[in-house]
Amino acid sequence: MTIVYVLLVLYMLRGWLRIPYFRVGQKSSSTRVSVLLAARNEEGNIGRTLDCIVAQDFPKELLEIIVVDDHSTDNTAEIVLSYAEKGVRLIQLNEGDKLNSYKKLAITRAIEQSNGDIIVTTDADCRMDKNWLKTVVGFFEETGAYMVSSPVVYSEEKSFFERLQTVEFLYLIGLGAAGIGNGNPTTCNGANLAYRRSIFYEMGGFRGIDNLASGDDELFLHKVAEKYADKIGFCKSREAVVYTDAKPTLSSFISQRRRWASKSTKYKDKKVVALGICIWLFNLSLIVGFGNFLIALPHLHYLFLMAFGLKFFAEFIFVLPLCNFSGRRELLWCLPLLSLVHAVYLVYIGIAGNIGKYDWKGRKVN
């Protein structure tokens, strides 16, 4: 199991290194773009996000911004309406409590009412530099991609727990990029995802995955990859980064990761599911080995220390270029503790994410 895990991480490192850095040219864009946000009870965040989007260095006549209010009970809708003169449109859902995936419905409704040739999705608690949209759209125009995943990075951490999450999240974003670099896209993040309107309709939108609360990003990526894996790109550029926040509490972190893990057994490519099970078993064996280490079974110490040492080494050489890319190299000192804690977290989430319901934005979903 250790050998499989180390070889997998090294393979992913190869994928990350194969992706060239992208720098947008000086040519002005000519592509119509729709930026879509699904928002629920985001009155504390959405104003800052909209400020970043309306300030983009992108032709205003080609930019459309649509926010879908998902049954908010706070002032989210009122804040969005205050941006109407800046070109922000508001759509409000009125579906009641009868769906499991409101976010997919929100995105679908927005696409139906949008005019852009390229659809860009982000979240209502994100921040971007002024060249974000120009860079992502420039990548489409220069590469002819059908779908583009771009980096998401945690920032403005307020605690050690949040700094640990930043490193772990860089690892996840790196895995998604590496899969694309290796020609086998498996994961992405909807906070910074873009695709052509035509490909959304060619794939039937979210049909077939609309019964799951999560998956508007990864599961849709899989639909596209099944036919057009070579047309999916990763925009490896600091200017394309979207910044967001780590979860402030353990309970909110667990709830988020349960939601993400809930789609892991729904992948159509069962090789990916089998690989995930192997990684889960490796981490379980590492926990058992750590338990044996604590109760002093000397004949097992060597195996545990070797397995953990190889795990840490592989993760270090993978995370190092990701920290360099994001300008967060100072967080590498968190990795030894994270490498051990991560094993426990993965084993728990692997089970909890696939049983029962979890809380998301005040709703119980599965």
Work out the pLDDT band at 361, boundaries 50, 70, 90: low
Domain chopping of the chain, boundaries: 2-9+269-365, 19-251
Matching residue, tokens 């290796």: 182
Does residue 144 carry a pLDDT above 60? yes
* Residue positions counted in the chain: 366
The CATH architecture one would assign to domain 19-251 is: Alpha-Beta Complex (3.90)
Cα dihedral 288, 161, 265, 199 sign: negative
For position 96, what pLDDT does the model report? 67
Q: Tell me how crowded residue 333 is: count the other CB atoms within 10 A of its CB.
A: 11
Q: Which two tokens stand for residue 71?
A: 């049954």
Confidence of residue 236 (pLDDT cuts 50, 70, 90): very high
Residues in contact with 298: Cβ distance below 8 Å, sequence separation at least 6, in sequence order: none
pLDDT of residue 33: 97
Q: Exposed, middle or buried: residue 295 (CB in 10 Å: 0-12, 13-18, 19+)?
A: exposed
> Could you give the 3-state DSSP secondary structure of residue 28?
coil
Q: Are 24 and 236 in contact (CB under 8 A)?
A: no
In 221-306, DSSP assigns E strands to 232-234, 242-244
Residues 266, 214: Cα–Cα separation, whole Å? 11
Give per-residue pLDDT as tens, 172-225.
999 999 999 999 999 999 999 999 999 999 999 999 887 776 778 999 999 999
CA 68 to chain centre: 20
Which pLDDT score is estimated for 170? 96
Cβ–Cβ under 8 Å, residues 222 and 184: no
Report whether pLDDT(264) > 80: no
pLDDT of the residue at 358: 56
- For 110-114, 219-223, 288-292, 327-331, which range has the lowest pLDDT when averaged over its residues? 288-292
Per-residue pLDDT at 262:
73
Q: Give the whole-angstrom CA distance, residue 14 versus residue 58.
A: 34
Q: Tell me how far apart the alpha carbons of residues 356 and 311 are, in angstroms, rounded to a whole number.
A: 31
Q: Model confidence at 37, in pLDDT bands (50, 70, 90)?
A: very high
**Cα angle at 162 between 54 and 311, to 5 degrees?**
120
Q: Residue 366: pLDDT above 60?
A: no
Percent of the chain with pLDDT over 70: 92
pLDDT (tens digit, 9 = 90+) per residue, 153-170? 999 999 999 999 999 999
pLDDT band for position 122 (50/70/90)?
A: very high
Q: Which two tokens stand for residue 157?
A: 């951490």
Q: Is-contact 322 170, C-beta < 8 A?
A: yes
Strands ordered across the beta sheet of 152-154: 127-128, 242-244, 152-154
Beta-carbon contacts of residue 256 (< 8 Å; ≥ 6 apart): 247
pLDDT band at 342 (very low <50, low <70, confident <90, very high): confident
Residues contacting residue 258 through CB under 8 Å, at least 6 positions apart: 349, 352, 353, 358
Q: Which of 21, 309, 311, 345 is nearest to 165 (CA)?
A: 345
Q: What is the pLDDT of residues 58-78, one digit of tens each?
A: 999 999 999 999 989 999 999
Residue 189 CA to residue 176 CA, distance in Å, equals: 8
